[in-house]
Amino acid sequence: MRKQIAAANWKMNLTYQQGQELLDKILAENIEIKVHHEVIFGVPFPYLIMAKEKVANLKNYHISAQNCYNKKSGAYTGEVSVEMLESIKIHHCIIGHSERREYFAESNLMLSEKLDLLLGTGITPIFCCGEPLSIREAGTQNEFVEKQLQESLFHLSEEDLKKVVIAYEPIWAIGTGKTATTEQAQEIHAHLRSVLAKKYGEDVANEISILYGGSVKANNAKELFSCPDVDGGLVGGASLDAVDFAEIIKALQ
């Protein structure tokens, strides 16, 4: 059974103290986590070690970086390498978030390089894809996300692909309060899985967790997560509230 994942993406929010408090509150809930469930906190770089210590004794709770650089090491002032993340034993790394694609001009090729570096270590990439509103309105979202997968992922071996978590995040639903309907989410998640199946076979495609992101809230998580091809969520705004994110964790199927 593939993993069902509740992943928080704090983005550039919260002070160190607020982050500590938020983690403490969520963890104090002692939410029952099933064997096929995972809870991931995507926190800012300076909080990674603190967050890691907080979940150190908890099964199926992991900490994720929100980005890494696409070069191994060297004169890249201000960047953080995969090797650095590995050296502090970080479990996951979000890559290709639409905010990074838009504000930092990250291309599909650059993301394929990040994937290779991450997979060269034991770090699980959470690869984001998703279309802007103009593409959705033109009705070409399936082709758009297929191209994102092809250009960033399709050079991977079957064995490596199985280590990747995919997050589908329609840009028009991020931070807008406008969620994809369950029908829209299921349809495009099924499409993404079929694209993976075409290239890698049904068995491999069925092992990949595909998360939905874009205004996931405590009151819509259950319905979204109940779609057969939606394997949990990547959550921005609602992950900054302990009560809300705890509810989202409890909505995992």
Active site residue 155: no
Judged by CB under 6 A, does residue 135 bind ligand 13P?
no
Q: What is the largest CA-CA distance in the chain?
A: 48
Q: Is 237 in the site for ligand 13P (CB under 6 A)?
A: yes
Give the total of residues touching ligand 13P (CB under 6 A).
Answer: 14
Report if residue 215 touches ligand 13P, rule: CB under 6 A. Answer: yes
Kindly state the tokens that stand for 151.
């250009």
* Residue whose tokens read 């290709």: 96
* 131 scored as a contact of ligand 13P (CB under 6 A): no
- Choices 26-34, 145-153, 201-209, 213-221; region in contact with ligand 13P by CB under 6 A: 213-221
- List the one residue from 169, 229, 231, 244 that touches ligand 13P (CB under 6 A): 169
**Nearest distance from C-beta of residue 175 to ligand 13P, angstroms:** 4
Q: Does residue 187 carry a catalytic annotation? A: no
Between CA 49 and CA 59, with CA 53 as vertex, the angle to 5 degrees is 125
CA distance 12 to 26: 19
- For 19-144, list the strands marked E by DSSP: 37-42, 61-65, 92-95, 124-129
Ramachandran region, residue 75 (left: φ > 0; alpha: ψ -120 to 50; beta: rest) = beta
Point out which residues bind ligand 13P (CB under 6 A): 9, 97, 169, 174-175, 213-216, 234-238
Q: Which residues are catalytic?
A: 97, 169
